[in-house]
Amino acid sequence: MRTEIATLGEFGLIKHLTEGIEPKNASTVYGVGDDAAVLSYPDSKQVLVTTDVLLEGVHFDLTYVPLKHLGYKAAVVNFSDIYAMNGTPRQITVTLGVSKRFSVEDMDQLYAGIRLACEVYGVDIVGGDTTSALTGLTISITCVGEADPDKVVYRNGAKETDLICVSGDLGSAYMGLQLLEREKSVLRGSTDVQPDFSGKEYLLERQLKPEARKDIIQKLEEAGIRPTAMMDISDGLSSELMHICKQSNAGCRIYEEHIPIDYQTAVMAEEFNMNLTTCALNGGEDYELLFTVPIADHERVQDIEGIRLIGHITKPELGCTLITRDGQEFELKAQGWNPLK
Amino acid sequence: MRTEIATLGEFGLIKHLTEGIEPKNASTVYGVGDDAAVLSYPDSKQVLVTTDVLLEGVHFDLTYVPLKHLGYKAAVVNFSDIYAMNGTPRQITVTLGVSKRFSVEDMDQLYAGIRLACEVYGVDIVGGDTTSALTGLTISITCVGEADPDKVVYRNGAKETDLICVSGDLGSAYMGLQLLEREKSVLRGSTDVQPDFSGKEYLLERQLKPEARKDIIQKLEEAGIRPTAMMDISDGLSSELMHICKQSNAGCRIYEEHIPIDYQTAVMAEEFNMNLTTCALNGGEDYELLFTVPIADHERVQDIEGIRLIGHITKPELGCTLITRDGQEFELKAQGWNPLK
């Protein structure tokens, strides 16, 4: 079944895709259907705005990414940015550029993923723009969220002796990508290796259906811990840590042995003959939280499941250093995902 | 002089483009440089959010659109949506997808246009996303604005007997586009007609450097007139009027003789052998305001320069009707710009 998008037209398609959307948040006054969405935030909140674009052929490959997963991910990566400010995502606008290759049913799948993510995270779709494109698929999502003014966490607040923490594990989404790329080669007949995903489901899920760490933000709040600096890890730990250090005018020391890595990630790195630590440092798309806390919070943060201490903040002149398992010291380099290289 | 974007990388390019940006609005707490921008709006304001995407080959043609003009227009069309809610634009995020064809100098031009528009309209650039693209140029801008809650004007408030008003004149941007398309054919040698833009500057300006009608919003406020429904005319008068009627559950009657058309538009329609009224009804990209006011405001609205009364709102069962100069009645059809046809 394939319905051409042209049969619905722009307004028909938007109506079709946004049918039955009911705002869940008190701050959503008016959603889809006018020149702009109307939101109402109380004085006591600051408004957070972030935006992320995904372009076919650059950020995703539809030969192995299902459209529903893509929609889910496109929304979640924006939520992740709001959580990384210690905020709560509330609304998104969805902008799509769609070539003739795509049908109404394709858009249904994509939107099903976006709507599912919004349901899971309690976010309202309040508007957007849908247009044809000469080639490919463009998904640009803007997310609006809220935070208590005294609780917003920036990247620039890390202080000397602060502890550096990460949630979850790193490098698994990158390994999932390697797996999928190998599968694609197999489908093209350019290699003899047969794809076998059994026991590797976690890696695929990390790549195809990442989650934003709302749970970690809640746990930190419950534990009364306010990070001094925070960001989400989308381009790789090295790159993000260097952002925090640069913006905080600080240095850091992190320890290879403390970087959290899942067993499956390690197995795959071995299989692909890749350096495991390099994958964890530069892999990207983890959507875990990287944050710093005062040393006084040491015990409280250590007690939280899913958070790992990987090092500490230093004076700026000491630079950003990785201490390997055998005690060697290396300067961290941002070799992660760079969409403009 | 051509600098490859890859030499700067994503963060280098963003830093380069956003250098020296100083927030002008009290509501901008923190702009470019973190996971999200932080805004602070007082309780007394509602927050408006709108988004518009421009794709190369669909919305613009760089063979005749200068990048600086394109940047200006990409920002202004978003401001126009905020004014159409009776609001004031305050912040934008700018998302760019850029193929290798473009250099740092190209991006400088594009950003110069965006920054100029922001300066003229008092808007802050607070964030965005910049990435490479396989082909072409993608510009997606989201605008955040504010309005007094009791002053927001939706599309759905038009009432029977309300007067229908438009600002400025219609069809001129569309005629500018026809002119530029002809010029392009000439450059390709596919026609013998020599381009002559003298005396047609207004049409080119309407197409290449449209303005949002901030001035009209101010004049209405000063005159104490609150429109009952309003939207901006981006897809053509017919299409927009039908949106207002549908969402307001109303019909309308508009008069051909009252539709405001510039002299140059008329001359060009003659030259191109096009129906002038069709151009004015369906041309698109006018970015004028279409609004309805209670009949009691008749005299006050008539006194405002740059506003024309073109008809009135009726019961829904009467449909949307155009009365021609010779008294014939036609049902309005939305034949305007449809980016998905």
Coil, strand, or helix at residue A326?
Answer: coil
Query: Which amino acid is located at B3 in the chain?
Result: T
The answer to whether residues B37 and A48 touch, using CB atoms and an 8 Å cutoff, is: yes
Q: What is the pLDDT of residues B7-65, one digit of tens each?
A: 998 888 989 999 999 999 999 999 999 999 999 999 899 999 999 999 999 999 999 99
All residues at 6 or more sequence positions from A154 whose CB lies less than 8 Å from its CB, including other chains: A85, A229, A230, A247, B30, B34
Q: Are A42 and B42 within 8 A, CB to CB?
A: no
Is residue A301 helix, strand or coil?
helix
pLDDT (average), residues B134-157: 96
Chain A, 160 to 219: residues with Cβ < 8 Å from chain B are none
Please list, in sequence order, all residues whose beta carbon lies within 8 angstroms of the beta carbon of residue B193, skipping any fewer than 6 positions away. Answer: B182, B185, B186
Chain A's closest residue to B156, CA to CA, is A34
Q: What is the mean pLDDT of residues A60-67?
A: 94
Tell me which long-range contacts B9-12 makes (C-beta under 8 A, separation of at least 24): B9/A338, B9/A340, B9/A341, B10/A338, B10/A339, B10/A340, B10/B130, B10/B131
Percent of chain B residues past pLDDT 70, beyond the cut: 96
Sorting pLDDT into bands at 50, 70 and 90, what band is A183? Answer: confident
pLDDT at B341: 47
Closest by Cβ to B140, choosing from A140, A144, A338: A140
Digit-coded pLDDT (tens) for B118-132: 999 999 999 999 999
The model's pLDDT over A317-331, given as tens digits with 9 standing for 90+, comes to 999 999 999 999 999
A153 Cβ under 8 Å from any chain B Cβ: no
Detail the DSSP E strand segments found in B110-248.
124-132, 137-147, 163-167, 229-233
Identify each DSSP E strand in B69-177 by its residue range: 88-98, 124-132, 137-147, 163-167
Q: Decide: B111 and B73 in contact? Cβ < 8 Å.
A: no
Give all strands of the β-sheet with A320-323 in edge-to-edge order.
A229-233, A288-293, A163-167, A307-314, A251-255, A320-323, A329-331
The tens digit of pLDDT for each residue in A117-150 reads: 999 999 999 999 999 999 999 999 999 999 999 9
Q: Which residues of A touch B228 (CB under 8 A)?
A: none
Query: How do beta strands B320-323 and B251-255 pair?
Result: parallel
User: What is the average pLDDT across B222-232?
Assistant: 97
Minimal Cβ distance to B232: which of A35, A87, A135: A35
- Nearest residue to A165 via CA among A304, A291, A284, A306: A291
Chain centroid, CA A302 distance in Å: 24
The structure tokens 């496109």 sit at A74
> What is the DSSP code (8-state) at residue A107?
H
Report chain B's mean pLDDT, rounded to a whole number: 93
Residue A195 has what pLDDT?
63
Would an 8 Å CB–CB cutoff place B33 in contact with chain A? yes
d(CA A297, CA B232): 53
Minimal CA separation from A198 to chain B, in Å: 33
How many CB pairs (< 8 A) connect A and B?
229
Cα–Cα distances in angstroms (integers) from residue A47 to residues A199, B78, B210, in the given order: 42, 19, 30
A267/chain B closest Cα distance in angstroms: 32
- At residue A338, the pLDDT reads 54
How many CB atoms lie under 10 A from the CB of residue B318?
14
How sure is the predictor about A110, in pLDDT bands with cuts at 50, 70 and 90? very high
- Residue A320 φ then ψ, to 5°: -110, 115
- B150 in reach of chain A (CB within 8 A): no
Coil, strand or helix: which one is B102?
Answer: coil
Q: What is the pLDDT of residues A221-250, one digit of tens each?
A: 999 999 999 999 999 999 999 999 999 999
**pTM of the shown model:** 0.94
Amino acid code (one letter) for A211: E
What's the burial of A325, exposed, middle or buried (CB within 10 Å: 0-12/13-18/19+)? Answer: exposed
Report CB contact under 8 Å: A142, B145.
no
Q: Is residue A306 less than 8 Å (CB to CB) from chain B?
A: no
Q: Chain A closest CA to B327's CA: distance in Å?
A: 32
Residue B122's nearest CA partner among B142, B101, B143 is B143
Distance CA B60, CA B74 (A): 10
State how far the Cα of A246 lies from the Cα of A63, in Å rounded to an integer. 38
Task: Report the SS3 class of residue B150.
Answer: helix
> In sequence order, what DSSP letters do the residues of A126-150 get, joined into one string?
EEEEEEE-SSSEEEEEEEEEEE-TT
Which of residues A168 and A10 earns the better pLDDT score? Answer: A168
Is the pLDDT at B335 greater than 80, yes or no? no
The better pLDDT of the pair B321, A340 is held by B321
DSSP state of B212: -
pLDDT digit string (tens) for B164-191? Answer: 999 999 999 999 999 999 888 877 766 6
Taking residues A288-313, what's their average pLDDT? 97
Structure-block tokens of residue A244: 């925090």
Q: Say yes or no for a CB contact (<8 Å) between A49 and B37.
A: yes
Calpha distance B275→B27 (Å, rounded): 47
What distance lies between CA A11 and its chain's CA centroid? Answer: 30
B277 in contact with chain A, both atoms CB, cutoff 8 A: no
**Distances from the Cα of A231 to the Cα of A163, A243, B57, angstroms:** 14, 9, 36
A291: pLDDT confidence band, cut at 50, 70 and 90? very high
Q: What mean pLDDT is predicted for residues A20-47?
A: 94
**Residue type at A155 in one-letter notation:** R
Task: Report the alpha-carbon distance of residue B48 to residue B270 in Å, rounded.
Answer: 41
Of B39, B49, B131, Cβ closest to residue A36: B49
User: pLDDT of B290-319, one tens digit each?
Assistant: 999 999 999 999 999 999 999 999 999 999
Alpha-carbon distance of B265 to A124, in angstroms, equals 43
Residue A191 pLDDT exceeds 80: no
Specify whether the CB–CB gap between A37 and A128 falls below 8 A. Answer: no
- Most B CBs within 10 A among A3, A43, A49, hence the mutation to make, goes to A49
Residue B269 φ/ψ, nearest 5 degrees:
-60, -40
Contact B46, B64 (CB under 8 A): no
In angstroms, the first-to-last Cα distance of chain A is 39
Q: What residues have CB less than 8 Å from B182, skipping those under 6 apart? A: B191, B193, B195
Q: Tell whether A139 is within 8 A of chain B (Cβ).
A: no
Which residues in chain B touch residue A230, judged by CB atoms under 8 angstroms apart? 35
Closest CA to B164 of B334, B321, B309: B309
Burial class (CB in 10 A: 0-12, 13-18, 19+), A94: buried
User: So what's the ipTM on this one?
Assistant: 0.93
Spatial separation of the C-alpha atoms in residues A31 and A46, rounded to whole Å = 20
Task: Give the integer Cα–Cα distance in Å for B30 and A264.
Answer: 40
Does residue A341 surpass a pLDDT of 50?
no
Average confidence (pLDDT) over A275-284: 93
Q: Which residues contact A8 (CB under 8 A, 6 or more apart)?
A: A16, A104, B340
What is the spatial distance between Cα B43 and Cα A19, in angstroms, rounded to a whole number? 31
Determine, for residues A51 and B154 on separate chains, whether the beta-carbon distance falls below 8 Å.
no
Indicate if the pLDDT at residue A186 is higher than 80. no
**Is residue B103 exposed (0-12), middle (13-18) or buried (19+ Cβ within 10 Å)?**
middle
Say if residues A280 and A240 touch (Cβ distance below 8 Å): no
